Amino acid sequence: MGEPSVKKQSIAIDPAEFKIGWRVLIMALIGTATSVSTAPLYSFGTFVVPMQEAFDWSRGEVQAAISMIFACSVIAAPVAGWLNKRFGLRPVALVSLVTLPLGYLAMTLNTGSIVLLYAGYGMLAFAGMGTLTTTWTHCVNLWFDKNRGLALAFMLCGTGLSGLVLPPLVTAAIEAWGWQAGFYTLAGLTSLITLPMACFWMSSSGPVGDSKASRKGSGGARALPGETLGEALKTPRLWLCNIGLTLPVMAMIGIVSSGVPMLIDGGLTATEAANTFSVYGISLILGRVVVGYLVDRIWAPGVAFFTLIMPAFGCAIFYFVQGEIPWLILGAILVGIGAGAEMDLAAFLMSRYFGMRDYSRVFAFHFGFISVFATVTPILFAFMYEWVQGHSAMLIFSMVSFVVGSTLLLAMGRYPNFELTTQEKEQNARMDNKQAQPV
């Protein structure tokens, strides 16, 4: 294993990139919070018991529904990566920000068919594929380089914002007006907040590079360093990153989708459970910002190892403690810290180890790889729940996954030093000369 490269970094934050890219960063934050890969997952726990009671479905039948989003994301993520490369980020995202709320509204038409519930969650993955993390991380990467880790961390705090706001908000709506109100709430957040921001602030280009023009290889776009998807697939690093992050993601999905029902089974009321688990969102935000700051200055896999170990201790608390809210809050905080690191690390590692040359497709492949295993995770955990009549098996599996996954990332070695070809350097020189000429 190669040693991590050592590079002196100032502890101070360079504000220059944030001054020109703050609108993009805020938009990507909200886009992440309401994306199809975030909002349905973080709100799902609040639907489980109400829909179970409304239609007399079993707990396992309802919990398996969320796996359909991940199953369909295996196809939707690569398609979104191709569309982003072919048409640019903006048009793909805007279309999805219209179709995703329509998908939520369609979910309210279910009158008791578990098949339609599964089909509905699968449909959401395609309706919102332009809002997947691939889009928002690519957008931020095009605007931030020196502060990329911190910018990605801030953007991906959208998942923490979702984890903080959605459980109590959707629970309140469901308790007041029924389970359908939960989907109305998700549709309203996307169409009334995210869509207008994307209309005004989103573009397919940025100071680091033009994603739409670079796909044509024209002289009008700056060449970006890195590997193609085909080249990346041949490197052990991509598979270490895929497997090393997939195991914690599987564990995180189990904890997030089962968190509220698990606390209810432990003796808390629905409101107490939602409020207790919502602190997960606060620690996710704090953990994400700290990790984002650190990876700009310290070898990222080392940061990942220590961060992804913490949720294992949170799972241990959930395993041994029941009904004691202070301890359960601590467990949610520890799990949230790890969840705050996972996607931030994925976006950062993909850009640093494989470059920006083919980022959309490389990250989309990574997202699709994770989605394959995320698909079976709710089914696996539902089986575990029925098998032991509780959440103990899921918690043990999650503890092991956090430990093994974080250890694998340590084998990734130092960051590659990508060099542009002579032709690409000449292309960039023409761009620089053209920009320097007076208008």
Residue 435 confidence class, pLDDT cut points 50, 70, 90: very low
Listed by start position, the domains of the chain span 20-204+226-416
Select, from the ranges 5-9, 220-224, 364-368, the one with the highest average predicted confidence (pLDDT): 364-368
User: pLDDT tens digits for 375-389?
Assistant: 778 778 878 877 887
User: pLDDT tens digits for 309-325?
Assistant: 888 888 888 888 877 78
Would you call 64 exposed, middle or buried from its count of C-beta atoms within 10 A (0-12, 13-18, 19+)? buried
Instruction: Round the CA-based radius of gyration of the chain to a whole number and report it.
Output: 21
Of the candidates 38, 40, 18, which has an alpha carbon nearest to the alpha carbon of residue 133?
A: 38
Q: What angle do CA 64, 68, 70 make, to 5 degrees?
A: 110
CA distances from 71 to 35, 90, 375 (A): 16, 25, 5
User: pLDDT tens digits for 46-58?
Assistant: 888 888 888 988 8
Q: What angle do CA 108, 114, 117 make, to 5 degrees?
A: 40
What integer pLDDT is reported at residue 115 of this predicted model?
Answer: 92
Of the candidates 102, 156, 72, 70, which has an alpha carbon nearest to the alpha carbon of residue 345?
A: 156
Q: Would you say residue 209 has pLDDT above 70?
A: no
102 or 300: whose pLDDT is higher?
Answer: 102
CATH 1.20.1250.20 fits 20-204+226-416, yes or no: yes
210: phi then psi, degrees, rounded to nearest 5? -105, 105
Token pair of 281, please? Answer: 């969102």
Cα 340 vs. chain centroid, distance in angstroms? 9
Rounded CA-CA distance 249/401 in Å is 9
Give the H or E element holding residue 346: helix 325-354
* Average pLDDT score over the chain: 80
Do 175 and 54 meet the contact criterion of CB atoms below 8 Å apart? Answer: no
Q: Please report the sign of the dihedral spanned by the C-alpha atoms of residue 358, residue 360, residue 363, residue 369.
A: negative
Token pair of 17, please? Answer: 């990139």
CA distances from 293 to 10, 18, 196, 248 (A): 11, 14, 30, 21
DSSP state of 147: T
Record the pTM: 0.67
Side chain identity at 34, as an amino acid letter? T
DSSP state of 355: B
What is the per-residue DSSP string for 176-231? HH-HHHHHHHHHHHIIIIIHHHHHHH--SEETTEEHHHHTTT-TTS----B--HHH
Token pair of 48, please? Answer: 């489980």
